[in-house]
Amino acid sequence: MTSVIVAIGAGLIEQAIARRVGSGKHVLLADVRQENADAAARVLADAGFETSTAVVDVSSRDSVHALAETATGLGEVTGVIHAAGVSASQASIAQILHVDLYGTALVLEEFGRVIAAGGSAVVISS
């Protein structure tokens, strides 16, 4: 069965971690903007990684659940890299709490249900 790494937030941090842990695995890159996920997937694909993309709004349970379903459809989820979020220069305090705090809880809850035994998650915030 294919081993899947899910990178949520398609920035440079997620790409760097995916490069480190994604060798021989399928890397699913997810972002709130499809163009960000596509750009990250191109970079990793050019480096030899097998990739696919998805759109996710981490502040929506339905969206995170759909991402977990997409990931399990690709194979066995063995890793999750979660660094999606917003900062004070991008959003209000209420939005920051909804995306950064509640969104992280949703990601951990939904992927906690599907991650393979021995799998791991990395959560990065600032």
What is the CATH number for 11? 3.40.50.150
In a domain, 64, yes or no: no
Q: Hey, what amino acid is at 14?
A: E
Give me the percent of the chain exceeding a pLDDT of 90.
92
What would the DSSP string read from start to end of the chain? --EEEEEES-SHHHHHHHHHH-TTSEEEEEESSHHHHHHHHHHHHHTT-EEEEEE--TT-HHHHHHHHHHHHHHSEEEEEEE-----TTTS-HHHHIIIIIIHHHHHHHHHHTTPPTT-EEEE---
Provide the domain count of the chain: 1
Instruction: Tell whether 112 is covered by a domain.
Output: yes
Place 114 in a pLDDT band, splitting at 50, 70 and 90. Answer: very high
Sorting pLDDT into bands at 50, 70 and 90, what band is 126?
low
Question: Could you tell me if residue 71 is inside a domain?
Answer: no
Sort residue 71 into left (φ over 0), alpha (ψ -120 to 50) or beta: alpha
Enclosing domain of residue 26? 6-57+76-83+92-123
pLDDT at 125: 80
Sign of the CA dihedral with 115 first, then 17, 107, and 51 last:
negative
Query: Is 0.85 surpassed by the pTM of this model?
Result: yes
